[in-house]
Amino acid sequence: MARTTIDWESQIGRRLRLRDLHVFFTVAQRGTMAKAAQQLNVTQPAVSRVIADLEHTLGVRLLDRSPRGVEPTMYGRALLARGTAAFDELRQSVKDIQFLADPTAGELKIGCPEGISAILPPLMERFSQQYPRVVVDVEQVRTVTLELPALRERRVELVLGRPGTLSKGDGLEDDLDIEVLFNEKLVVVAGNCSRWARRRTVDLAELVGEPWILTGPGEFNYNVVAEAFRARGLDMPRIAFKSASTQFRANMVATGRFIATFPGSLMRFNADRLALKVLPIELPLRRWPFAIVTLKHRTLSPLAERFIEHVREFTRPMRDARPAPRR
């Protein structure tokens, strides 16, 4: 039975220790007392004792025990949610202190999908030139939807991506700050050694019989191409491969045998390096935002703030004439 009130000074402030919370978080993450003890390099009875003391202090059961392990109760989940945010703020405060001691060094963790990783090198190169002693740790994430566990679990401070399925009312964006920097344009691409690369004009109808590499049906890439052919009264082109991998598609198109579509930003910075050329074909314009996503009410480190300013400046030439909205 939960207590209706908890006296912070006598019950919590003097008895709740950060080390005990860390033990609780580890148990919840690993799923058993034994695994948590192994990770923490302590005995299992010591872990059990910490959890029991925490439950006694708070007056509620934090974990449900079973032969298969442990699972947080509703009270445990509440402690996890708030405690994770509290520990994150403490980590950020340490980063702030490190930054104040040396504003040109530190570590920044960001997330981005594989699809935009090809435009990261020129962006990162300029940032690294300004801050040569900063380590940027990039975690691959999916941004097609806005679930973003890496961001919500605070493994990364920000995410760069294209939240293409962003829609109001689904509730996923309620705790997110989404700053759209520019809207991508999809372009049709062939290899430099392709016969199409030497043409000044190319009609979409001429490419119906060519082997294409697209993403799967229902995805942005596929839908735009299908719409373009449908608008001309044409059948879908022959699809040789389906893949979401930018690296795979680029390598295959570079052989000169295939046609594909890529984001305009990728071609802006990587066309020569990838031996690819944009063909003179206009595809339907559809909103495809490139955005910075952060958590609302989360204090960003000074390094994250500097990196965001760098990304804004780097992408300025690609922005629409009208300022992109901030949500």
Of 43 and 7, which is predicted with more confidence? Answer: 43
Q: Is the pLDDT of residue 102 over 50?
A: yes
Q: Which amino acid is at 100?
A: L
Q: What was the pLDDT predicted at 9?
A: 52
HEC profile for the chain? CCCCCCCHHHHHHCCCCHHHHHHHHHHHHHCCHHHHHHHHCCCHHHHHHHHHHHHHHHCCCCEEEECCEEEECHHHHHHHHHHHHHHHHHHHHHHHHHHHHCCCEEEEEEEECHHHHHHHHHHHHHHHHHCCEEEEEEEECCCCCCCCHHHHCCCCCEEEECCCCCCCCCCCCCCEEEEEEEECCEEEEEECCCHHHHCCCCCHHHHCCCEEEECCCCCHHHHHHHHHHHHCCCCCCEEEEECCCHHHHHHHHCCCCCEEEEEHHHHHHHHHHHCEEECCCCCCCCCCEEEEEEECCCCCCHHHHHHHHHHHHHHHHHCCCCCCCEC
Of the candidates 63, 16, 61, 23, which has an alpha carbon nearest to the alpha carbon of residue 39?
Answer: 23
**pLDDT tens figures, 230-245:** 999 999 999 999 998 8
| Average pLDDT of the residues in 186-207 | 94
Q: Is the pLDDT of residue 323 over 70?
A: no
Q: What was the pLDDT predicted at 199?
A: 92
Percent of the chain whose predicted confidence (pLDDT) is above 90? 36
| Local confidence band at 166 (pLDDT 50, 70, 90 cut-offs) | very low
| CB-based contacts of 38, cutoff 8 Å, min separation 6 | none
Whether this prediction's pTM lies above 0.85 is answered by no
| Local confidence band at 317 (pLDDT 50, 70, 90 cut-offs) | confident
Q: Is the pLDDT of residue 202 over 90?
A: yes
Q: Is the pLDDT of residue 73 over 60?
A: yes
Of 190 and 7, which is predicted with more confidence? Answer: 190
Q: Which CATH number fits the domain 186-278, given the four candidates 3.40.50.720, 3.40.190.10, 3.90.470.10, 3.90.1300.10? A: 3.40.190.10
| Local confidence band at 67 (pLDDT 50, 70, 90 cut-offs) | confident
- Highest mean pLDDT (candidates 29-33, 66-70, 73-77, 204-208): 204-208
Of 313 and 16, which is predicted with more confidence? Answer: 313
Q: Is the pLDDT of residue 142 over 90?
A: no
| Average pLDDT of the residues in 91-103 | 74
| Local confidence band at 309 (pLDDT 50, 70, 90 cut-offs) | very high
Q: Which CATH number fits the domain 8-83, given the four candidates 1.10.10.10, 3.40.720.10, 1.25.40.10, 3.10.50.30? A: 1.10.10.10
State how far the Cα of 122 lies from the Cα of 114, in Å rounded to an integer. 15
**pLDDT tens figures, 204-217:** 999 999 999 998 88
| Local confidence band at 157 (pLDDT 50, 70, 90 cut-offs) | very high
Homologous superfamily assigned to 102-184+288-318: Periplasmic binding protein-like II (3.40.190.10)
Mean pLDDT for the chain? Answer: 84
Tell me if 8-83 shares its fold with 186-278.
Answer: no
Of 182 and 115, which is predicted with more confidence? Answer: 182
Q: What was the pLDDT predicted at 242?
A: 93
Domain coordinates in residue numbering, the chain: 8-83, 102-184+288-318, 186-278
State how far the Cα of 100 lies from the Cα of 120, in Å rounded to an integer. 27
Of 289 and 15, which is predicted with more confidence? Answer: 289
**pLDDT tens figures, 15-64:** 677 788 888 889 988 999 899 899 999 998 999 998 898 888 888 899 99
Q: What was the pLDDT predicted at 241?
A: 95
Q: What was the pLDDT predicted at 324?
A: 41
**pLDDT tens figures, 256-283:** 999 999 999 889 888 888 899 999 999 9
